[in-house]
Amino acid sequence: MAIKDYLRERFFPHLWCSGCGHGIVLNSLLRALADLGMSKNEIVMVSGIGCSSRISGYVDFHTLHTIHGRALAFATGVKLSRPELNLLVPMGDGDALAIGGNHFIHAARRNIDLTAIVMNNRIYGMTGGQYSPLSGQGIMATTAPYSNIDYDFDTVELAKAAGATFVARSTTYHTQQMTKMFRQAILHEGFAMVEILSQCPTYFGRKNRAGSAIDMMESYKENTTPIGSKSKMENPDLIERGIFVQKEVPEYCNEYDKIIEKAMKGR
């Protein structure tokens, strides 16, 4: 299927600012779905609130645009009720790791078969540039006018510790890697988390003198490196890209099917 067929074109142009990384994430995601030849009726996209969540409006799937931070909880209900459906859950910093942090770790812990996409732009864009749990120390934001003193989460480490069975990270600069990762994450049976560093030139960029969208994307090229590369050993500040965890662990809905079998036998 051509990727345009996955779009609700009548809603374009989209509402993201020019230079925003989220459109690149959408592009890579649709390419991954096209590569896999997935039909639109078997995909449910569940999103929360924020710039990232608007992605669900532009795709011609079953789309559930929910409330802030709770996308994974809604998605858990959809998935457990209809395990044959494929669940995609795009989230921003706040959805995934601030208000929704609890649902994030618990969905990972259950190993329920969802694909969680964390679009990390290190800022709250929709509300105008406040710091997020992924901003980190020293970052300027409208609510950190003297610079931020909060430490940031490492999304990958958090997902690993919570038990996610597929954990990966890439950036909007590395679109082919991103597409490949999405393909693997969707095929993975269990909770898959893909973090994408996605630029927000409008708020993060301006507040932090990070330059244009292109400058920010170039910084993704310069400041990241494949997992375990030589340059990482030489420069520990580089952010690693790639698949950190990929393991087979019994999936939640399958396990629940066994509970049903047990309960029915016991009658």
Partner 1 sequence: MNENIKFVQGNEACVEGALFAGLDFFAGYPITPSTEIAELLSIRLPQRGGKFIQMEDEIASMCAIIGASLTGSKVMTATSGPGFSLMQEALGYAIMAEIPCVIVNVQRGGPSTGIPTRVSQGDVNQARWGTHGDHAIVAITASNHQDVFETTVEAFNISETYRTPVILLYDEVIGHMRERLIVPKEGEVPSVKRLKTSVREGVDYHPYLPREDGRLPMSDFGGVHRYNVTGLFHDMWGFPSDNPKVVHDLLRHLVDKIHNNVNQITKYKSYYLDDAECILISYGSAARSALHVVDYLRPRGEKIGLLELQTLWPFPHSLISEKCRKAKYVIVVEMNMGQILKEVRIAVEEPEKIFLANRIDGVFITPMDIRNIMRLIQGKGV
By beta-carbon proximity to partner 1, the closer residue of 78 and 239 is 78
User: What x/- string results for residues 82 through 111 when contact with partner 1 is judged by CB under 8 A?
Assistant: x-xx----------------xx--x-----
Interior CA angle at 187 toward 186 and 188, to 5°? 90
Phi, psi of 215 (to 5 degrees): -60, -40
Helix segments in the chain, DSSP class H: 22-36, 71-81, 93-97, 101-110, 155-162, 175-187, 206-207, 213-223, 230-234, 252-265
d(CA 123, CA 203): 7
Please, which residue, 63 or 142, has the CB nearer to partner 1?
63
Residue 180 CA, chain-centre distance (Å), reads 14
Candidate residues 66, 132, 155, 198; the one interacting with partner 1 per rule CB under 8 A? 66
**For 85-163, where are the alpha helices, taking DSSP H only?**
93-97, 101-110, 155-162
CA distance 189 to 170: 20
Give the residue from 242, 258, 111 showing the smallest Cα distance to 188. 111
Options 79-87, 194-202, 206-214, 225-233: segment touching partner 1 (CB under 8 A): 79-87
Minimal distance, residue 171 CB to partner 1, in Å: 29
- The binding track of 238-257 with respect to partner 1, each residue x by CB under 8 A or -, is ------------------x-
Q: Is 264 in the site for partner 1 (CB under 8 A)?
A: yes
**Which is nearer to partner 1, 39 or 212 (by Cβ)?**
39
223 contributes a contact to partner 1 by CB under 8 A: no
List of residues contacting partner 1 (CB under 8 A):
11, 40-42, 44, 46, 56-57, 60-67, 70, 73-82, 84-85, 102-103, 106, 256, 259-260, 262-264, 266-267
